[in-house]
Structures are given as structure tokens and as C-alpha cells.
Amino acid sequence: MSVDVRAMSLIEHLEGQIQVLVLAAHDMQEVIAACDALDREEEPGPLSDALATAIAVCYARPFSARNTVGPPLGKQWTPASGTPEREIHDWLLHERKKRYAHTDMEAGRLVLHAGDLESGFDGLVEVKAPFPRERLVQIRERAHYLHERLMAKAFVV
């Protein structure tokens, strides 16, 4: 029995599409979980910073051209311009690129000397702008919406 090369190629293509969609949906689940955990964190600190990083990185990952599993999510997954959904989408991608994925001058991180004049130099501390928690509801809603749509599309492909 011979296998049609075109049929196998089509099957492999569809399997790749499904994998991209399901992995993106799982990324959105991680965004939701990180939002929930950050919402419970009362004090700023390393855990809050790690959760904020996870939110931005997990959200942006499926839209990144550096995916090796398959192509990034296409334009049909990007909200329409001028909508609140597009604003949060663009903000998350920007934050991931400028604040969370790299250490550069635009990341909003500073290192300052700790101590006082009497005791002298005590050490160094990092100072950074806190994650805007008022965005958590909108981020969670966007991630939930994408998760549902991505999983539904994975079963239709």
C-alpha cells in the first residue's frame, strides 16, 4: 500500500497547526494562573515580579516570530485597532519586549545604593516600577477569551 505524499504532507501540516493552537491556549492558561496569583500577592517583591514577567512572556509567546514549533499566531488572533482588547494586547507585547524579556535602559529598572550617611554603604537595591494591577482584570479576560477560541479552533482544524 503506497502512502500519498501529499496526504501525509497535509496531515503533518494540520498536526502542526493543532500543536501551535493548543500550545498557545495553554500559554493563555498560564497567563490566567499568573494573574490570579499576582492578584493574591499583597506585597511587591520577587514573587510579584516573577508573576508579572510570566504574564507578559506567556501572553506574547504565541505571537512571537521565534517559535520553532510553527508560525506565530496570525492576524486573526490580533484584536481590531482602536479597541480596548487591542490596547491591552499591544501593551503586553511592548512590556514583554521592553521590560520583561531584556535588561536594557528602557526596562524601568534601577540599582541604587542602600544605606545612610551615618552607617555608610549597606549594599545595593533594585528599584522598579510596579506592575499595574488595575490591568489584571482586562488581561485575564483577554487570555480567557483567547484560550476558549484557540481550543475551539484546534478541534476544527
Position 112 scores a pLDDT of: 67
Question: Quick one: pLDDT at residue 128?
Answer: 76
pTM: 0.83
103 is written with which cell numbers?
535588561
Q: Which helix (H) or strand (E) holds 97?
A: none
Grid coordinates in use for 116?
545612610
Q: How far is CA 122 from CA 78, 111, 128, in A?
A: 48, 13, 19
Question: What pLDDT sits at residue 106?
Answer: 65
Q: What is the pLDDT along the chain (157 residues), one digit of tens a residue?
A: 456 777 668 888 888 899 999 999 999 999 999 999 999 998 888 999 999 999 999 999 999 877 677 789 989 999 999 999 999 999 999 999 888 887 666 666 666 667 666 666 667 777 777 889 999 999 999 999 999 999 999 988 6
Q: Which residues partner with 127 through β-bridges?
A: 110
Compute the 3-state secondary structure of the chain and give helix, strand, coil in percent, each to the nearest 5: 65, 10, 25
Reading phi first (left if > 0) and then psi (alpha if -120 to 50, else beta), residue 93 is in: alpha
- What's the confidence (pLDDT) of residue 152? 97
Q: What is the pLDDT of residue 107?
A: 64
